[in-house]
């Protein structure tokens, strides 16, 4: 190490230009703030497999699950890592738009100022899911059951406190005038959340579509309605809340790759290009759609990703302000 520093110092003093270090020079970690099996984990693994080849001979990307507090713990960890491009995170709206806006006391990190935004991966609606034996064959039938039934008999599940499913469930009840009526049960991932509904440990929830897609197809949970303004291509028979019981209801999740703040611009550009190359592959786009994620198709340079984050943080703050929904940590 002494010799390397000595040579570097002599070279700089003499004005000699040194060759740039190759990136990546070791395995890249793509952290996920949830347990395996949920939407973020599924998306991260599909992306990691295709990012690596685009990054050259050392381009190996491995997913590391760091679950806890809906991605908040992992996000706080990420901001303290070296900004060399070898430690990244796939985040969703839960930790980087919802929690800073809705959590009492906020988060220790600023979702805009404390990170480098690299690229948006995709978006996906939430889906209202119910235990198959619950008489909720349509949004209207489910709303009637929720208004008439005992609140204690209708606990709803989420993938964690301050997660998108948690906010969506609270918002769903709030729009109906039933805010705070139903017991909330938090799990560690979207996969665990949906499994709890399939086993009738809980009765309903508003899941990220990518977490529930397989269980809905298998009939283990009932897909009642999606939360976007339009039906999702891979589930054309499931209506939207907008077209049925709740006109104007529009709430979607999203996924993006970020790193610690102050990452070198050339490294950011190389990672962004690898992500865009991966998203350009028809096979990946098809697999994301089947999983319930619509691949990002709008401008997606790093500057676009930063603008997207700023807009989403402002949007969620507005939703929280209008609904009055607050989430206890």
> What's the CATH code of the domain at 46?
3.40.190.150
The answer to whether residue 11 is domain-embedded is: no
The answer to whether residue 57 is domain-embedded is: yes
The answer to whether residue 235 is domain-embedded is: no
* Distance of alpha carbon 251 from alpha carbon 268, whole angstroms: 29
Provide the number of structural domains found in the chain: 2
* Distance of alpha carbon 5 from alpha carbon 299, whole angstroms: 41
Are residues 119 and 263 both part of a single domain? yes
Q: What are phi and psi of 287, to 5 degrees?
A: -70, -35
Contact call for residues 302 and 263 (beta carbons, < 8 A): no
The answer to whether residue 104 is domain-embedded is: yes
The answer to whether residue 261 is domain-embedded is: yes
The answer to whether residue 242 is domain-embedded is: no
The answer to whether residue 98 is domain-embedded is: yes
* Among 166, 191, 226, residue at a domain's last position: 226
**Enclosing H/E stretch for 275:** helix 265-279
Q: What is the pLDDT of residues 197-215, one digit of tens each?
A: 999 999 999 998 988 999 9
* Among 190, 211, 226, residue at a domain's last position: 226
The answer to whether residue 100 is domain-embedded is: yes
Q: What is the pLDDT of residues 32-68, one digit of tens each?
A: 999 898 889 999 999 999 999 999 888 999 999 999 8
Q: What is the pLDDT of residues 66-122, one digit of tens each?
A: 998 889 999 999 999 999 999 999 999 989 998 999 888 889 999 999 999 999 999
Q: What is the pLDDT of residues 241-256, one digit of tens each?
A: 999 888 988 889 999 9
Are residues 181 and 34 both part of a single domain? no
Give the domain range for residue 275: 22-123+253-323
CB contact set of 180 (below 8 Å; sequence gap of 6+):
170, 173
> What's the CATH code of the domain at 158?
3.40.190.10
């Amino acid at each position: 190490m002494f010799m390397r520093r000595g040579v570097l110092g002599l070279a700089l003093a003499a004005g000699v230009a040194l060759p740039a270090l190759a990136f990546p020079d070791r395995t890249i970690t793509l952290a996920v703030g949830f347990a395996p099996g949920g939407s973020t984990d599924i998306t991260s693994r599909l992306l990691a497999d295709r990012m690596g080849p685009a990054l050259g001979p050392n381009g190996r990307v491995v997913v590391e699950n760091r679950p806890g507090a809906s991605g908040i713990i992992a996000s706080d960890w990420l901001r303290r890592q070296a900004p060399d491009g070898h430690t990244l995170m796939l985040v969703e709206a839960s930790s980087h738009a919802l929690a800073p806006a809705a959590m009492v006391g906020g988060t220790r990190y600023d979702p805009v100022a404390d990170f480098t935004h690299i690229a948006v991966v995709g978006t996906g609606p939430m889906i209202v899911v119910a235990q198959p034996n619950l008489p909720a064959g349509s949004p209207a039938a489910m709303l009637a059951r929720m208004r008439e039934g005992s609140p204690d008999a209708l606990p709803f599940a989420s993938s964690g406190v301050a997660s998108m499913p948690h906010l969506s469930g609270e918002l769903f009840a709030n729009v109906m005038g039933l805010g705070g009526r139903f017991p909330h049960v938090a799990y560690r991932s979207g996969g665990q959340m949906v499994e709890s509904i399939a086993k009738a440990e809980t009765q309903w929830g508003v899941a990220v579509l990518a977490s529930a897609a397989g269980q809905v197809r298998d009939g283990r949970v009932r897909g009642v309605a999606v939360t976007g303004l339009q039906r999702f291509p891979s589930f054309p028979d499931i209506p939207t809340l907008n077209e049925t019981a709740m006109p104007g209801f529009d709430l979607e999740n999203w996924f993006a790759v970020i790193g610690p703040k102050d990452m070198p611009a050339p490294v950011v550009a190389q990672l962004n290009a690898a992500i865009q190359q991966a998203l350009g592959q028809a096979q990946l786009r098809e697999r994301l759609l089947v999983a319930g994620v619509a691949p990002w198709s709008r401008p997606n340079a790093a500057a676009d990703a930063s603008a997207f984050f700023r807009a989403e943080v402002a949007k969620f703050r507005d939703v929280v302000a209008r609904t009055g929904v607050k989430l206890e940590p």
